[in-house]
Amino acid sequence: MTGIGSKEAELIAAISNRGLRVFTITEAAQLLNITNRAVSKLVHQLTQKRKLQPIEKARYLLIPPEAWKAGEYTEEGTIIASQLVKPYALAYWTALSFHGWTEQASRTIFVQTTKLKRPVEIQGMTIRFVKLKAERFFGSEVHWMGSQQVVVTDKEKTIVDCLDQPRYCGEIVEAAKGLWNGRDSIIPKRLLEYALRMGNGAVIKRLGFLAEILDVFDERYRRQLRKHVTPAFVALDPGQGRGTGAYNTDWYVRVNINPKNLTEWMTH
């Protein structure tokens, strides 16, 4: 490596060989078997040379040469996000994108966790952490992303999460796209089970309404959903105007967006 000393190169190699993108001073000291103070000096030098980037207190990002091409969203961001908190699952818009259900680009990576954690800004991208109660933190699976393993919400949990918090997936239209694009691979029974586990009646109502509008699953399944609908109206899209829209009494949904928006993308 040009422009860096042998000890600095040794640190970078040790971090890379462990498959880490993010590391702490203590972790680096253990890898090199030297003191925290000695590592701090190396890290300071590498930060000055723009080989490392501080992202949190005593935590640093190793910037590989091939990463973060200007203006591009790369898998590097999701790998970094996976190393910032435990437990975690890549979720919402990030999971929709991972499953191939949205074409909309985002400069935010969404991570579910049971811990409270502030957003992290890295190379023009935001990693946002959404804290969930332990009983809502379920439905994830491990996938390979390049040479790294990452945890992503499974298909059914991705849809349920987006219906629970549409603001984290690009609003309700993106949730509708996910439901439509995943219609052949989503397991309806699991989707209903997950929706009930969330303990948010709005999820069932939005799911039933969208399933009917998009004509996914069968009528028998939609009747199953209807059994769990309570007589209290919820907004189809909580991020849109309050008090507007027609009231759908089958699903107790206030349709506060133009219904055409839910299906017009199919013809594009």
pLDDT in tens, 90-106: 999 999 999 999 887 78
- Domain match, 138 and 216 both: yes
Range of the domain at 48: 6-62
Torsion sign, CA atoms 59, 65, 71, 73:
negative
Please indicate, yes or no, if residue 18 is contained in any of the structural domains.
yes
- Domain match, 82 and 147 both: yes
- Domain match, 156 and 53 both: no
- pLDDT above 50 for 250: yes
Per cent of the chain over pLDDT 70 is 94
- Distance of alpha carbon 61 from the chain centroid: 20
Convert the pLDDT of each residue in 105-149 to its tens digit: 788 999 999 999 999 988 788 999 999 999 999 999 999 887 789
Closest CA to 255 of 137, 241, 102, 84: 241
The CATH number of residue 19's host domain is 1.10.10.10
Are 78 and 109 spatial neighbours (Cβ–Cβ below 8 Å)?
yes
Please indicate, yes or no, if residue 114 is contained in any of the structural domains.
yes
Per-residue confidence band for 264, with pLDDT thresholds at 50, 70 and 90: confident
Closest CA to 252 of 226, 268, 237, 232: 232
- Domain match, 215 and 123 both: yes
Please indicate, yes or no, if residue 36 is contained in any of the structural domains.
yes
- Domain match, 193 and 84 both: yes
Please indicate, yes or no, if residue 257 is contained in any of the structural domains.
no
CA–CA distance from 139 to each of 113, 133, 134, 198 (Å)? Answer: 12, 14, 12, 11
Please indicate, yes or no, if residue 248 is contained in any of the structural domains.
no
Please indicate, yes or no, if residue 247 is contained in any of the structural domains.
no
- Domain match, 126 and 211 both: yes
Into how many domains does the chain fold? 2
